[in-house]
Structure 1
């Protein structure tokens, strides 16, 4: 049987996309192909659970537009389905004079995005986070936290109720275009679909190339390692505490995050993972490692960020160095206050020129769409990414009876 839509990937973006497709085309036959035995086993289930406000992202970018809209739609979805969330707000703090210009730029960007933002003096920072020592700060009250695994389980339940099939334990091994769409080889046998939607995350570039599309970049996996405050020291953090990002390094820096279960995570760093699913230092996949190290884009990125990259690597092996980074935000934190926690791997697209792809990257192809870069804030934006894909992906001819998106309907999704 040939499905109307085959979605590869059962993370939050894949499930949200399938959900949007079944909303736009209620009679469509939709299958989600997921190689793990449950949803949200990779980026989705290993992130910090933050519902981002969108302050970091360039004006006009998809990240900025979809994150702001996703901040609202994600909390609406949680309200509708009884899922836990807390719009707890976060502070971004400057702890050194050199960080004050960067904090000012973030304030200007927040205003440009129309976000609610408040500037904070050192005393006002301590009103929000009593244990933080800072020169100045910003408070963004619309930032929140949730449980994205729970969101995915709810999406999966809703999809099954709509007649969609979620095929767990089904790894895609090959994709081939044919006259009617695509044939997809998997470990659970072949599947056929009129339209292919690639939401494969860490493997999205490979799936795109198998299907004949050129993503113009390569996924390079960066592991983010976390520590967790022991229960007796959780009182040091009320909500979310972020530093001003280093403008010379393409990641946000270590920060404190209160999770929806009350635990407090500290991190992440950013180091090259030796496997695309390399969640520990012992995880090595020779194909993945060779592919990353031989890629000119990674070589250029490493040269451009040699000092910062070395510091990140040292923090990976030295708990003392990691704790010193945390002490820049909360001087009271000591090594015995934190224990290692679950790591994640960021699926980051990188160009051959050594530039991180800074926005969500969607590649249109005949009867297909490939989501080839969807790191943070993809979880926050997932319902909006799904709507965008459903409005943009070509529909099989027999579904043309459904109204096609108008320019007003598509909004930022055109």
Structure 2
């Protein structure tokens, strides 16, 4: 049984189904891919940023190939367009060189290019150096999920929307029992892919997870149609290596629109896509968790404050974009939407920077699977299926 109907949960269910397992998928919402997957930037990541040998590095490099192959096999829109990571000042060049070394260590096709060479890819970009990453792409992850649902349906999987897991306990004769609002379901094994609710599902199953989910909202703008010509592909800044976020960037989508963002602010609700979305329970959970206070002490000033200011100021948001493409002004962008990242945080305040998967008897819990989890979904699924079959 799989709890969670985002791309990771559906990929796990499909992989188990291919291995001859009877699979049930529970999703509490009325549609598939309702949260992180459905609010994704739709980028197929190359595996550039991640520590060599980590889950993220291995699974995103392999996932970059497998998700593109899947899309091409099943007719899902995808384009391998490459991207530029640009250093906008000399102080960022050492970090850019480190990224190039990490790309080589991870087997990612990338090369450092001069400012003039960068402008051959992106004529409007401003930089003192750049890294060209060829294998980055864009895809429709919701369409990937729709295809997985179709494949699962054809395999006679038991797919249940609007069905929350309300209780989990070991079965009397092994396996697990999961209570829903209407019945108790039994399964040989449980896989928790609940994303923003993954730590709560783990607790429901009797585990004490090593990390807690703290939700961060990322807000997007998009370029007005008449200004889309300013960006040909994907333009990213050199990221701050101490943060899990890649910084505000520009992404040309499959339909030709250009998305800009996201910033990163604390969400006031686990599934809160606006400042008005507030959950006292979720806020209380954050307030009670020592790791959240330790994180705030480290990053609230000036980093966190600047993110909040950018959330309320279109001018500040545009200024961040103008560091990459100086022609972008606040008059060129309009609000587009937002997503919420399920960031796992340890009690000491450290951010979990790799995929985190914990196991118990007849249970596998995916407790940290933010970006590049969508890129890596088919690889995560193979890993989990191996765990379940042990």
Q: Does 1:302 align with 2:296?
A: yes
Name which of 5, 20, 23 aligns with 2:18.
23
Q: How many residues align structurally?
A: 388
1:340 aligns to what SS in structure 2?
A: strand
Counterpart position of 1:154: 147
Counterpart position of 1:330: 325
1:343 aligns to what SS in structure 2?
A: strand
2:337 aligns to what SS in structure 1?
A: coil
Name which of 109, 120, 140 aligns with 2:102.
109
Deviations 1:309-353, CA, capped at 9 Å, x for gaps = 111111111111111111100111111111111100000100000
Offset, 1:178: 2.3
Deviations 1:244-295, CA, capped at 9 Å, x for gaps = 0123433211000111222110000100000000001100011101111221
Offset, 1:190: 2.4
In the alignment, the residues of structure 1 paired with residue 85 and residue 8 of structure 2 have an alpha-carbon distance, to the nearest angstrom, of 27
Name which of 360, 364, 368 aligns with 1:369.
364
Counterpart position of 1:405: none
Q: Does 1:98 align with 2:81?
A: no
1:226 aligns to what SS in structure 2?
A: strand
Matches within 5 A, 1:216-235: 216-235=210-229
Counterpart position of 2:180: 186
Matches within 5 A, 1:29-178: 29-178=22-171
Point out where structure 2 has 5 or more consecutive residues left out of the alignment.
none
Runs (4 or more) in structure 1 with deviation over 4 Å come to none
TM-score scaled by structure 2?
Answer: 0.98
Name which of 385, 388, 405 aligns with 2:383.
388
* CA root-mean-square deviation: 1.0
In the alignment, the residues of structure 2 paired with residue 293 and residue 332 of structure 1 have an alpha-carbon distance, to the nearest angstrom, of 42
Counterpart position of 2:250: 256
1:40 aligns to what SS in structure 2?
A: coil
1:163 aligns to what SS in structure 2?
A: coil
Offset, 1:231: 0.8
TM-score scaled by structure 1?
Answer: 0.92
